[in-house]
């Protein structure tokens, strides 16, 4: 028992020392590529998404980004929902032809296998960023969205996304949940 305890303390101390040496040293020890000095982050140059829509219908998130080094690797999408919290980050990996620059869209099919229904006026927020192969992050865009029954079709996207033939970059894989699916609290007698 003492051996196990001592070994645990040793490893906790080792992890603490690695944290003291900073992120770059930790990455080097773990075999993760470290960004060379002077590396510039990718930049999201334009974006567009509708502000409301119906649950179950697809949402298109339009993005344009560029990277001076041409090593963009993936897009991070973090969704948070009022009354629920944050969902795990979804990663969309870019095809090689999009590593220097791209104009395209992400599609999120909002129908969820966790719930068949979301309450009217459910609010979500999408945070989107692009990362290069070293993990250097671009600027972050924040896109609020509201689920509204009978919402009008989303408007046509503005320039530079209005040219037609905009490529699909990937699918957002986040399954929303109804935080109020156990509605017994609403009908409890007092």
Average pLDDT estimate for 85-111:
95
Judge if 63 and 93 occupy the same domain.
yes
Q: What is the mean pLDDT of the chain?
A: 84
Is residue 49 over pLDDT 80? yes
Domain that holds residue 157: 43-177
Number of domains in the chain: 2
- Note whether 6 and 71 are same-domain residues: no
Q: 25 burial class (0-12, 13-18, 19+ CB within 10 angstroms)?
A: middle
**DSSP code string of 18-84:** HHHT-HHHHHHHHT---PPTTPPPPEEEEEE--SEE-TTSEEEEEEEEE-TTS-EEEEEEEEEETTT
Pick the more confident residue, 40 or 38: 40
Q: Among 169, 176, 173, 172, which Cα is nearest to 44's?
A: 169
Q: Are residues 14 and 106 in the same domain?
A: no
Q: How confident is the model at residue 184 (pLDDT cuts 50, 70, 90)?
A: low
Tell me which of 96 and 1 has the higher pLDDT: 96
How confident is the model over 77-92, as a mean pLDDT?
94
Checking if the pLDDT of 27 tops 70, the result is no
Q: How many whole angstroms separate alpha carbon 51 and alpha carbon 121? A: 12
Tell me, yes or no, whether 30 and 91 share the same domain.
Answer: no
The reply to whether 173 and 89 lie within a common domain is yes
């Amino acid at each position: 028992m003492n051996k196990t305890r001592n070994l645990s303390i040793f490893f906790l101390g080792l992890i603490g020392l690695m944290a003291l040496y900073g992120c770059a040293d930790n990455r080097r020890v773990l075999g993760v590529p470290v960004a060379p000095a002077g590396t510039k982050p990718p930049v999201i140059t334009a974006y567009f998404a509708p502000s409301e829509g119906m649950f179950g219908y697809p949402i298109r998130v339009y993005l344009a980004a560029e990277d001076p080094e041409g090593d963009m690797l993936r897009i991070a999408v973090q969704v948070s929902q009022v009354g629920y919290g944050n969902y795990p980050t979804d990663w969309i990996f870019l095809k090689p032809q999009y590593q220097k620059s791209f104009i395209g869209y992400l599609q999120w099919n909002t129908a969820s296998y966790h719930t068949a229904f979301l309450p009217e006026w459910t609010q979500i927020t999408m945070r989107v960023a692009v990362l290069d192969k070293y993990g250097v992050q671009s600027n972050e865009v924040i896109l609020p969205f509201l689920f509204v029954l009978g919402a009008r079709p989303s408007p046509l996207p503005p320039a530079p996304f209005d040219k037609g033939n905009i490529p699909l970059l990937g699918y957002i894989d986040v399954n929303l949940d109804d935080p109020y699916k156990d509605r017994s609290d609403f009908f409890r007698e007092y």
